[in-house]
Amino acid sequence: MLETNGERLWDSLMAMAEIGATANGGSSRLALSKEDAAGRALFVEWAVAEGLTVVRDTIGNLFARRAGCEDRAPVVLGSHLDTQPKGGRFDGVLGVLAALEAVRTLNEKRIETRAPLEIANWTNEEGARFTPAMLGSSVFAGAMTLTEGLARVDADGTSVADSLAATAQAGDMRLGRDMDAYFELHIEQGPVLEDNANTIGVVTGGQAIRWLDIRVTGKAGHAGTTPMPVRRDGMFAAAELMRVVEQRAGETSGLLATIGEIHVDHGSRNTIAGDLRLTLDLRHPQDDVVDAAIDELRGLFNDICERRGLAYDMSVHWRSPALPFDADCVAQVRDAAAALDCDWQDMISGAGHDAFHLARHCPTAMIFIPCADGLSHHEAESIEPEHAKIGADVLLNAALARAGRA
């Protein structure tokens, strides 16, 4: 098996982290900001030095191409260079720079591939400046129209189109062109690999996600004058709904339930909560398991609210079906991990990634490495250099298997 140069990869990661470096050791390169443009420029400089051909598409996705012996659809390796406002040094960046390290290794060892290789840097993956997240890959793969993508504005009202122009990141490469396969290396952003003491996660797909909006309609009232028995307290009702959600999640292995937001309309400390809004994020590798949980929760919520004399409404805000990755690409990742004799496991991706959009466009797989304490979207995001190197090794060998050695 080929091995990458871990030191060179780490040096590149550290050099990129200097662009938009934050006081607490993170990076701040919001999509299409001048910091993001500087990060892209550094990447382009490195890519050109490796003899790669750099092109951009109309939504600013950046591709660095290494020709193959055969003129056909490329095997693409990538991720994103943009970060959260106070982001870490590895989320996304690792996938792009490990792809660069793979190419550097091939160049160094004068290995040619049959299919061309491309490194992709997708625009606005984080969604921190422009919503939605994964905007560039979404437009590339046709989940969002170019017009819609260009029209998205940030908090200051600046559009993607204007930001692309200001940073000279728009190109004319065709959206949705053929790709032979897509491989993305990423930090796990969760604790599973670390807890299992594994180095490589062979990602078999994305889980089913449902974002639900719950509205509880009780009756506001004076905290000092309303006897408990006549109250229709939205807060205590919400507490009981939340308990039921937690209990239901505990009954099904792998079912994730998160209530991340709760808002009391016109809330004050001496007013009984009348109307409340809660969010519910439910995830599981299988669609039918999530949907069955939702049905069951509706019944439980009905019982609770009927008993309490309150009304509730639960609507689906976003439904993302479970997304299995391509069996062949997953096998290529798994084979590479096994051949490299590292500690690996199959796993599902809990977070969203550009690879999810690509998976609807071409055969796709992902590779995870651990991040300390599962922490990401944070300046303290941390990985082991050795893990980064092994991740790059798996990426290189899986891509090479796919592209074919000339």
- Site for a copy of itself contains 200 (CB under 8 A): no
Cβ at position 389, least distance to a copy of itself in Å: 23
Residues 223, 227, 229, 235, Cα dihedral to 10°: 0
**Binding range to a copy of itself, per CB under 8 A, among 6-14, 19-27, 109-117, 182-190:** 182-190
Amino acid found at 114:
R
Q: Sign of the CA dihedral 64, 342, 330, 16?
A: negative
Binding residues for a copy of itself, rule CB under 8 A, total: 56
> How would you classify residue 341: left for phi > 0, otherwise alpha for psi between -120 and 50, otherwise beta?
left
- Site for a copy of itself contains 372 (CB under 8 A): no
In the 8-state DSSP scheme, what is residue 52? P
- Site for a copy of itself contains 228 (CB under 8 A): yes
- Site for a copy of itself contains 222 (CB under 8 A): yes
Member of 258, 339, 346, 406 binding a copy of itself (CB under 8 A): 258
| Phi/psi of residue 341, nearest 5 degrees | 60, 35
- Site for a copy of itself contains 230 (CB under 8 A): yes
Cβ at position 276, least distance to a copy of itself in Å: 9
Place of tokens 């099904």: 252
In the 8-state DSSP scheme, what is residue 50? T
Cβ at position 328, least distance to a copy of itself in Å: 25
Rounded-to-integer distance, Cα 22 and Cα 228, Å: 51
Extract the tokens encoding 376.
């990401």
- Site for a copy of itself contains 242 (CB under 8 A): yes
Strands (E), 14-147: 53-56, 62-66, 75-79, 117-121
Q: Calculate ∠ Cα 283-288-292, nearest 5°.
A: 85
- Site for a copy of itself contains 239 (CB under 8 A): yes
Rounded-to-integer distance, Cα 19 and Cα 38, Å: 7
- Site for a copy of itself contains 227 (CB under 8 A): yes
Cβ at position 350, least distance to a copy of itself in Å: 3
What lies within 8 Å, CB to CB, of 27 at 6+ separation is 16, 17, 19, 20, 21, 83, 87, 88, 89, 93, 379
- Site for a copy of itself contains 188 (CB under 8 A): yes
- Site for a copy of itself contains 131 (CB under 8 A): no
- Site for a copy of itself contains 259 (CB under 8 A): yes
In the 8-state DSSP scheme, what is residue 225? T
Cβ at position 345, least distance to a copy of itself in Å: 13
- Site for a copy of itself contains 236 (CB under 8 A): yes
- Site for a copy of itself contains 145 (CB under 8 A): no
Q: Are 244 and 300 in contact (CB under 8 A)?
A: yes
- Site for a copy of itself contains 273 (CB under 8 A): yes
**Binding range to a copy of itself, per CB under 8 A, among 10-18, 249-257, 293-301, 394-402:** 249-257
Q: Are 65 and 116 in contact (CB under 8 A)?
A: yes
- Site for a copy of itself contains 313 (CB under 8 A): no
- Site for a copy of itself contains 251 (CB under 8 A): no
Nearest CB to a copy of itself, comparing residues 57 and 126:
126
Q: Are 273 and 267 in contact (CB under 8 A)?
A: yes
Member of 60, 87, 350, 363 binding a copy of itself (CB under 8 A): 350
Helices (H), 144-218: 146-151, 160-167, 192-195
Residues forming the site for a copy of itself (CB under 8 A): 188-192, 195, 207, 209, 211, 221-228, 230, 233, 235-236, 238-240, 242-243, 245-246, 249-250, 255-262, 264, 267-273, 279, 281, 283, 349-352, 374, 376-377
